Amino acid sequence: MGVKMRYIEDDLKDKTILITGGAGFIGSNLAFYFQNNHPEANVVILDSFRSGETLSNGNLKSFGHFKNLIGFRGEIISGDINDKDLLLDLEVNYNFDYIFHEAAISDTTAQEQDLMIRTNVNAYKDLLDLAVAHDANMIYASSAATYGNAESPQRVGREAPNNVYGFSKLSMDHLSREYMKDCDISIVGLRYFNVYGANEYFKNSTASMVLQFGHQLLAGKNPRLFEGSDKILRDFIYIEDIIQANIKAMQPKESGIYNVGTAKARSFQDIVDILQKELGTMLPCEYIPNPFIGSYQFHTEADITTTKEGLGYEPAYEMEDGIKAYVAEIKRVYETEVKK
């Protein structure tokens, strides 16, 4: 399980790494990256594991799930980043060298503005203070949601968030820049575009359309796409390239906010066509009216020029490669979780 490719040659022996949101999609992949490639590093996971608690839209408040960590051998802490006593305990009883901050209220349709700002912005400031106290490099999850309907290709500095989630991530970026002025640690914000790959299933309805279409096809259902799906384009990025960017952000040329995408916009129709080829299906597509016209991004494409320069990042996976690498896991999850 987890990402196996090695992205840095540095010895992380006896280094201590904190991953917040470590039972989630990207955090768990990071955890296994270190376990597989740097087994002598000490990895500590902090996650607010899911309970029955939901947001007002009915979605779960936390997507952290123990099954994403089966096989992980490091330390696991169940806790909320809003808990200041917990953060004080981390400051006193640990000595972190790197902090990967993936924890967030990440549901873009969430209406709880107070919870979103408190969790995504205020708690992040506390974690920045922890990083400064420990002299630990900070790598955190920003988001392409900061761009809203900004013109493609999306570039850092051209933000126009149209929901509170995007606003909260942009606020994190502003806060980071203030810390960058006065701190000796490196701080890197990574604006993820549309990520897909292993361990996303427990995001439920917010999992990628790659997974959702894959399961529709495996169930023998006609894939349902919005009308004009061949013209609805997104920058879809495979989890392996997200991990690559995170690892290279441990030792950046300079602190900053960086886009993490492929710099290629692909359609939802492409996803279905590639999946049908990989799964050996030929089910006809059903096209339904798009109810989100007017509040829907029809084109996202990351400008990764500065990411290549600042991090040495180079996307390795075309969509065809990513889906091909992911298909076995899509099938496994379908058999073990969907069909049960």
CATH of the domain at 165: 3.40.50.720
| 176 part of a folded domain | yes
Digit-coded pLDDT (tens) for 218-232: 999 999 999 999 989
Digit-coded pLDDT (tens) for 183-197: 999 999 999 999 999
Give the strand pairing for 286-288 and 16-20. Answer: unpaired
Q: What pLDDT, on the 0 to 100 scale, is given for residue 295?
A: 62
Q: What is the pLDDT confidence band of residue 1, given thresholds at 50, 70 and 90? A: very low
Q: Yes or no: say if 311 and 245 are a contact pair by the CB < 8 Å rule.
A: yes
User: For a pLDDT cut of 70, what percent of the chain falls above it?
Assistant: 97
**Residue 8 neighbours by CB distance under 10 Å:** 14
Average pLDDT over residues 158-163: 93
Average pLDDT over residues 261-270: 97
Please give the residue that has the higher pLDDT: either 137 or 206. Answer: 137
* Token code pair at residue 36: 């597989």
User: For a pLDDT cut of 90, what percent of the chain falls above it?
Assistant: 85
Total structural domains in the chain? 1
Domain that holds residue 66: 16-338
Q: Yes or no: say if 47 and 103 are a contact pair by the CB < 8 Å rule.
A: yes
SS3 content of the chain, % helix, strand, coil (to 5): 40, 15, 40
Q: What pLDDT, on the 0 to 100 scale, is given for residue 2?
A: 47
Complete DSSP assignment for 115-161? HHHIIIIIHHHHHHHHHHHHT-EEEEEEEGGGGTTPPSSB-TT----
| 164 part of a folded domain | yes
Name the residue among 239, 164, 30, 64 with its Cα closest to residue 172: 164
Q: What pLDDT, on the 0 to 100 scale, is given for residue 75?
A: 98
| 312 part of a folded domain | yes
| 8 part of a folded domain | no
Using DSSP, state whether 256 is helix, strand or coil.
Answer: strand
Catalytic residues: 165, 203
Q: What is the pLDDT confidence band of residue 296, given thresholds at 50, 70 and 90? A: low
